[in-house]
Amino acid sequence: MWRMKGRTRSAMGQATTVLVTLFGLLVLTFVIGRIMPVDPVAAIVGEDATNDVYENVYRKLGLDRPLYIQFLYYMRDILTLDLGVSIRTGRPVVEDVLHVLPATIELATFAIIVGAGLGVPMGVLAAVKKDRWPDHVIRIISLLGHSMPIFWIGMIGLLIFYAGLGWVGGSGRMSQFYIGLVPEKTGFLFIDSALAGDWDVFRSALNHVILPASLLGYSSSAYITRMTRSFMLDQINQEYITTARVKGLSRPKTIWRHAFGNIRVQLVTIVALAYGSLLEGAVLIETVFAWPGFGSYLTANLIIGDMNAVMSCVLVVGLIFISLNLLSDVLYRVFDPRTRAE
């Protein structure tokens, strides 16, 4: 009985936290949109427009109303998924975001698989071999991944693996020959090509995503490696590890079953944050590889001052991180039985 009440209070508290965070996100995006040194009216009418035209658009946008009235209308539009119309494309921003976001999700998903697949084992190995040559090598690799500019790595990767060796595809999500051959049902090229049974398009998409995803994953693995190493060192130095070894438990079982088992919950947060950063921070790699994703869309609209699109993108990024935090809470309960008993 008490446990059920505790779980109910916990769920209510979590829902309250999410609502407060969403409200704060709305306030933040609204304020940013008002203090940005960009005139949204001038971006629409152009610099040569007359004062009458300027004033007419100014009133239509509701900018003549008090700020609190503008915020109420802004909240109403957000709740009804009316994010306005993009100046650059002439289409509703919601449609634009839904069109470009799957490309970035595909890229970031492949990248986080590479990043976590490299970062976690390297972090564990570096902790186990602390202050020995594997640790030094891994720390150098991580430092390089963290320090080298991603756009420079992208250009070097294209020069070597595409132009030089021809191992991977070039820019874009697939070869020009295949564009438009697969009906866009979900927006995810791998899913759409599989549903259509067009495996040539699927292979082309895979060939094109390998290089940018691997480079992004390598950059992300640097952070994951460092955090994994730090978490593992903290666990390895605990008394229960020494006790397990004294009782005759093998070193691999001690490391992976006990020490690594106790950092899984922490790693969930680290990987989730890394994934969120990949979703909103892949601007440079998308530019280098002409990847038609969320980052490219945000950059193009920011350059011309399309504030409807820019503020909507900021809002989407915030929602992505809130969603990932909620997912982390769910995974906590999966990996840590103690949280399920609370």
- The rounded mean pLDDT for the chain is 79
Assess contact for 193 and 199: CB atoms under 8 A. yes
Domain that holds residue 22: 18-79
Q: Are residues 125 and 71 in the same domain?
A: no
- Does some domain include residue 176? yes
- Does some domain include residue 256? yes
Q: Are residues 48 and 141 in the same domain?
A: no
Q: Does the pLDDT of residue 18 top 80, yes or no?
A: no
Confidence of residue 8 (pLDDT cuts 50, 70, 90): low
Compare 64 and 219 and report the one with higher pLDDT: 219
Report the alpha-carbon distance of residue 279 to residue 293 in Å, rounded. Answer: 10
Instruction: Return the bridge partners of 92, or none.
Output: 85
Assess contact for 290 and 211: CB atoms under 8 A. no
Q: Are residues 50 and 117 in the same domain?
A: no
Q: Are residues 124 and 254 in the same domain?
A: yes
Q: Are residues 31 and 137 in the same domain?
A: no
Q: Are residues 162 and 215 in the same domain?
A: yes
Q: Are residues 170 and 277 in the same domain?
A: yes
Compare 165 and 332 and report the one with higher pLDDT: 165
Q: Are residues 157 and 65 in the same domain?
A: no
Q: How many structural domains are present in the chain?
A: 2
pLDDT computed for residue 38 by the predictor: 65
Q: What is the pLDDT of residues 120-129, one digit of tens each?
A: 999 889 888 8
Confidence of residue 259 (pLDDT cuts 50, 70, 90): confident
Handedness of CA 147, 151, 155, 161 (dihedral sign): positive
Segment 192-211 shows an average pLDDT of 87
The pTM of this model reads 0.81
Please name the residue that has the structure tokens 């690799």: 141
Q: Does the pLDDT of residue 58 top 80, yes or no?
A: no
- Does some domain include residue 267? yes
- Does some domain include residue 35? yes
- Does some domain include residue 200? yes
Q: Does the pLDDT of residue 101 top 60, yes or no?
A: yes
Nearest to 288 by CA among 166, 188, 149, 187: 149
Confidence of residue 4 (pLDDT cuts 50, 70, 90): very low
Q: Does the pLDDT of residue 220 top 60, yes or no?
A: yes
Q: Which of 27, 46, 79 is the last residue of a domain?
A: 79
Q: Where are the alpha helices (DSSP H) in the chain?
A: 2-35, 40-45, 51-60, 67-79, 93-128, 133-147, 150-157, 189-196, 199-236, 239-246, 251-253, 264-281, 283-288, 294-304, 307-335, 337-341
Q: Are residues 243 and 148 in the same domain?
A: yes
Segment 19-27 shows an average pLDDT of 78
- Burial status of residue 3 (CB atoms within 10 A of its CB: 0-12, 13-18, 19 or more): exposed
- Does some domain include residue 189? yes
Q: Are residues 40 and 116 in the same domain?
A: no
- Does some domain include residue 5? no
Q: Does the pLDDT of residue 46 top 70, yes or no?
A: no
Q: Are residues 166 and 31 in the same domain?
A: no
Q: Does the pLDDT of residue 25 top 70, yes or no?
A: yes
pLDDT computed for residue 2 by the predictor: 45
Q: Are residues 224 and 262 in the same domain?
A: yes
pLDDT computed for residue 154 by the predictor: 83
CATH number of the CATH domain containing 207: 1.10.3720.10
Confidence of residue 113 (pLDDT cuts 50, 70, 90): very high
Nearest to 260 by CA among 123, 130, 77: 123
- Does some domain include residue 251? yes
pLDDT computed for residue 7 by the predictor: 52
